[in-house]
Amino acid sequence: MKASFFMFFDYLSMMGVPVLLVLLALDAAVIHSGVLGIILRVLIGAGCLVYGAIGIREVFVHGRRRHETAGQ
């Protein structure tokens, strides 16, 4: 898979969602801010939807092609 628009969001959500989840845990344990918790949940939800959608494309659409070379 070439570096692409999709790949940017794939990597962004792959690394971003875990960071947001850890921040959510920190918020729950230390900060206790309701607004921050909701903002984090919105970002996590959006990130997961993007990650899942790109994953479906990558694994179940792109990965199923039989006549594909690694460079394509």
Count of beta carbons in the 10 Å neighbourhood of residue 62: 14
Q: Kindly tell me which of 5 and 72 has the beta carbon lying closer to another protein.
A: 72
Q: Is 54 helix (H, G, I), strand (E, B) or coil?
A: helix
- Pairwise CA distance, residues 70 & 18, whole Å: 29
- Tell which one of 4, 17, 33, 35 touches another protein (CB under 8 A): 17
| 36 in contact with another protein (CB under 8 A) | no
Answer for the pair 13, 37: CB distance below 8 angstroms, yes or no.
no
Binding site for another protein (CB under 8 A): 14-15, 17-18, 21-22, 24-26, 28-29, 38, 41-42, 44-49, 51-53, 55-56, 59-60, 62-70, 72
